[in-house]
């Protein structure tokens, strides 16, 4: 027969074991996930089919991916995909790696409908582990520029007439403002903060300082020619520290120019002051710093939750012991 003393000891031991297990579980559940769009590198024309791929990656093995992809169906049309279905501006993605991996790629075939810019964005994304545990919910987007089939060029005709023959010479007109007529940006804007230095078509690196309260920065570029193809890398969401975005412009001849914008979000408590962060040697180093900051924030939140649970469990155990002791005292008085 189990005595009251043994029963209390077992209850206390079980509660203490559960409390100690919580921090260990919380500290290991810190996996994160990312997503990146890879649009075509060459310009897209109307009635031309092209592929856009999305790479999902995590710091642990991926079991499955579920997401929605929104696109501008007035500019591009969805054709097919092995991992998505839908149309009319929204695709439903549901897939998994063919072999155990921490990375998976999905491809989507579209067709150009009309000249213009089409945003393609990842929404409601959820990356799961093989055990159906949520790894992360990343966001990503890109812009597809669809050009017309005809490329207009400005020309001027100079005619020289003599008594013997007439000669016609056609030359390409140089832009009056000195800016090339294709393959560059003529404007670059951000909806929060200011570009430093001020924009110029032949300046390719910029910095934008924003307060800690700013969590999202949209970037918009204007190309020199309607036939130029433009695409973006990075996400509009901003973490504390450096956030690197690129805008690549490609003309019909395949010549490309890449503009880099580094958005620096100030640390918490410094809303009135923006701090200058030195440029790292590569964008990979910048991404690693941002990821480490996110992991540390997750550790702090999980540890605080775990400590609160431990405290509650210990209080419950203490109450149980006090009740048992009082019962023991009353039982001793009755025996007397």
Quick one: pLDDT band at residue 203, thresholds 50, 70, 90?
A: very high
Q: Give bridge partners of residue 290 from the DSSP assignment.
A: none
Distance, in Å, from the CA atom of 56 to the CA atom of 332, rounded to the nearest integer, reads: 67
Closest CA to 295 of 63, 126, 136: 136
- Pick the closest to residue 102 from 119, 126, 127, 125 (CA basis): 127
Query: Regarding predicted confidence, which is higher, 87 or 165?
Result: 87
**Confidence class for position 278, pLDDT limits 50, 70, 90:** very low
Which secondary-structure segment (H or E) carries 92? strand 90-95
- Mean pLDDT score of the chain, rounded to an integer? 78
- Look up tokens 């642990």; give the residue: 60
> What string of H, E and C letters represents the secondary structure of 277-300?
CCCCCCHHHHHHHHHHHHHHHHHH
How many residues make up the chain in this entry?
A: 336
Q: For 256-271, what is the mean pLDDT?
A: 84
Q: Per-residue confidence at 149, pLDDT binned at 50, 70, 90?
A: low
CB 230 within 8 A of CB 143: yes
Q: Crossing angle for the helix pair 283-335 and 4-28, nearest 10 degrees?
A: 170
Residue 161's pLDDT is 36
113: helix, strand or coil? coil
Residue predicted with more confidence, 153 or 12: 12
Residues 6+ apart with CB under 8 A from 183: 224, 225, 228, 249, 250, 251, 253, 255, 256, 257
Nearest to 33 by CA among 146, 158, 145, 125: 125
């Amino acid at each position: 027969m189990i005595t009251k003393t043994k029963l209390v000891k077992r209850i206390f031991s079980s509660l203490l074991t559960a409390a100690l297990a919580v921090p260990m579980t919380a500290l290991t559940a810190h996996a994160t996930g990312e997503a990146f769009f890879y649009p075509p590198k060459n310009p897209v024309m109307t009635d031309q089919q092209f592929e856009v791929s999305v790479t999902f990656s995590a710091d642990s093995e991926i079991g499955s991916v579920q997401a929605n992809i929104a696109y501008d169906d007035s500019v591009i049309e969805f054709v097919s995909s092995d991992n998505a279905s839908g149309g009319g501006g929204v695709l439903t993605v549901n897939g998994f790696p063919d072999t155990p991996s921490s990375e998976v790629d999905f491809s989507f075939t579209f067709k150009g409908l009309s000249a213009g810019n089409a945003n393609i964005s990842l929404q409601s994304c959820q990356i799961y582990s093989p055990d159906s545990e949520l790894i992360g919910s990343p966001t990503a987007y890109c812009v597809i520029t669809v050009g017309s089939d005809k490329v207009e060029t400005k020309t001027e005709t100079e005619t020289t007439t003599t008594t013997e023959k007439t000669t016609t010479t056609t030359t390409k007109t140089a832009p009056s403002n000195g800016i090339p007529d294709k393959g560059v940006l003529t404007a670059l804007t951000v909806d929060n903060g200011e570009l430093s230095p001020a924009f110029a078509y032949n300046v390719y690196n910029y910095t934008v300082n924003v307060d800690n309260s700013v969590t999202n920065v949209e970037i918009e570029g204007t190309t020199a020619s309607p036939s130029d193809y433009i695409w973006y890398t990075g996400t509009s969401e901003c973490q504390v520290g450096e956030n690197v975005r690129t805008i690549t412009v490609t003309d019909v001849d395949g010549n490309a120019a890449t503009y880099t914008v580094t958005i620096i979000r100030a640390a918490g408590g410094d809303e009135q002051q923006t701090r200058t962060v030195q440029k790292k040697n590569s964008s990979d180093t910048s991404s690693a710093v941002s990821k480490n900051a996110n992991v540390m924030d997750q550790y702090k939140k999980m540890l605080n939750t775990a400590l609160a649970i431990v405290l509650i469990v210990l209080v419950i155990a203490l109450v149980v012991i006090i009740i048992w002791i009082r019962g023991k005292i009353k039982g001793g008085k009755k025996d007397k």
